[in-house]
Chains A and B, each alone.
Chain A
């Protein structure tokens, strides 16, 4: 893998029928950087849970940046209120699973940015565990 960024951009319908297609694409991208089965599964789960929180939107843009030892994903625009509510972990009861808890477990880092045309974009980074 060279040091240059490799980008894959995808506009996809948010309908659940297309989630397997998105999972398959993530799997294909992650395979190129030799992610382990479990790491691919984690990244797929993170994106899938974000799509579930997208709010009332019809399409979503996904950008994957392939680095030497990591994949960075940008998912959005997503509904700001829906994502804010899903990420609010402060008052979570024991045993309650928030999106924040899920993302903290399955990716190495994540963050939220304002999208240009409204809504928010969620950034995810998943690094290879076994180098």
Chain B
């Protein structure tokens, strides 16, 4: 079923269709049902992502991160639950987006022009990497973005900042909990990891995604560009996650 078809059906019918797809995926292992569920709920991801636009990150990147939350929700959904997938997925999508911003450290105030330059850098690096077949130089990135190498370096540094400050409050400083976000389940993986602080080695306490990135970088020796492709994030985001994970692991030992 196409997303357009999904939009034309009534809410109760859409919910029944979702449950049938979830049953096919979880009980029968039908991965095409999973893909259809993802497509059907991408409009929800886009809608939630738009709330977080204008913070120096491209809408496309936010949607991409939100889609990861959607996929997690689909994979974790238990058929015994009497809740719609949309309700269940919403806090997962929002949680993934918030974690993304927390990783990026946008809690730190930076000039808007630098935020915007940083936001456009990610796409420029991807384009240039594809075009050149290698990681671009700073001069090449500057030329692509019609700016100076110095500004690119400064924007890189802005983007490389990370913070452990919670982003449950946004840049405005106001609490940004939406009533819809409080419905459903918490992001289980995240909560579980928070509970394991003193129980397991530092590496084990990282999120699965971060562990996988570190494994690819330092065990397989893969370059960031290949890791970025493998995990579906930008190279800049992979760089930040590596630095942040190593810093967290180091702190754990002190």
Q: Which A positions have Cβ atoms within 8 angstroms of B?
A: 20, 23-24, 27-28, 30-31, 34-41, 44-45, 48-49, 52-53, 95-97, 101-102, 105, 129-130
Contacts and interface: CB of A to CB of B under 8 A. Distances in A.
B134 A20 contact: no
Contact of B135 (A23, A31, A37, A44): A37
A57 B239 CA distance: 27
| Chain A contact residues, majority secondary structure | helix
A97 B253 CA distance: 12
B138 A37 contact: yes
Interface residues on B, range: 35 or more
Given A97-B249, A102-B246, A24 B157 contact: yes
| Chain B contact residues, majority secondary structure | helix
A77 to B, nearest CB: 20
A53 B253 CA distance: 11
B223 interface: yes
Nearest to A102: B218
B20 interface: no
B128 to A, nearest CB: 9
Given A38-B225, A38-B235, A97 B214 contact: yes
A23 B157 contact: yes
Contacts of B150: 28
B114 interface: no
Nearest to A105: B218
B16 interface: no
Nearest to B239: A41
Contacts of A129: 134
Nearest to A27: B153
B54 to A, nearest CB: 24
A40 B203 contact: no
Given A45-B243, A97-B218, A105-B217, A20 B157 contact: yes
Given A23-B157, A31-B149, A52-B247, A36 B218 contact: no
